[in-house]
Amino acid sequence: MGGHSTGGFILPRNWAGNELHGRVIVPGPVDAKALVEVMRWHILRADGQRSGLWTRAAAILSANALVVAGTAVMTSAGSNAAWWSLITAILPLVASLLSIYEASNVLGGMQDWSHTFVKQDSPKPILYSLPETVNALDTYDNFRSVVMSRSIDEEMGDAMSELWRISVLHRLRIHQLRRSLRWFEISVPLLVISAIVIVASLAIS
């Protein structure tokens, strides 16, 4: 989805305003309703970026499955090798499991935001975070009352909180994905080295 930049915001292409050199010039301060729409657009954009991270994490998990399978086949075929050579097969397996762990965290959800992100905590984004909405309101009557009495300032505050949380989570998932890829890249040469050691052990035994 395309957009324009103004200050710290990426504005949608259908934003009403004057455009100069690819930059939207908004006359006067942005009103609350317009700001809510901008934040909603960012939230939808973040959903697309999150899907991209999930796709990459799934690809790394599939690649690690090959490493684990290769380790199993190698140790089975070289079962008559010296014990010390078979121990080397543990190294690629450990690296691959660490990669799987990090990639799985990218796919996983957040259980308790306040305890996990103490410094980056924000108000519960009612209606934007469905689990926290249910936890906070508990019953349908409370939910209906909150929705019917909702003001634009409350909507803006919750949208802002949700966008902040998405941003914090996105940064965390990028770091997790990088660590996962790094461990996978380590596991591949370790697997090759282990295979060479086991074959050499079989040759001299």
Instruction: At 51, give phi and psi (nearest 5°).
Output: -60, -35
Q: pLDDT tens digits, residue range 86-133?
A: 889 999 999 999 999 999 999 887 777 777 777 778 888 999 888 889
Residue 15 clears pLDDT 70, i.e. is over it: no
Spatial contact of 57 and 177, defined as CB atoms under 8 Å apart: yes
Average pLDDT over residues 154-168: 90
Instruction: At 6, give phi and psi (nearest 5°).
Output: -145, 115
How distant, in Å, are the alpha carbons of 5, 7, 37, 78 from that of 19? 10, 14, 19, 68
Residue that is written with structure tokens 């634009």 in the block:
152
Residue 78 clears pLDDT 60, i.e. is over it: yes
| Predicted pLDDT of residue 29 | 57
Q: pLDDT tens digits, residue range 171-197?
A: 999 999 999 999 999 999 999 999 999
Q: Which pairing describes strands 9-12 and 3-6: parallel, antiparallel, or unpaired? A: antiparallel
pTM for the full predicted model: 0.74
| Predicted pLDDT of residue 84 | 86
Average pLDDT over residues 34-55: 88
The span from the CA of 177 to the CA of 56, in Å, is 8
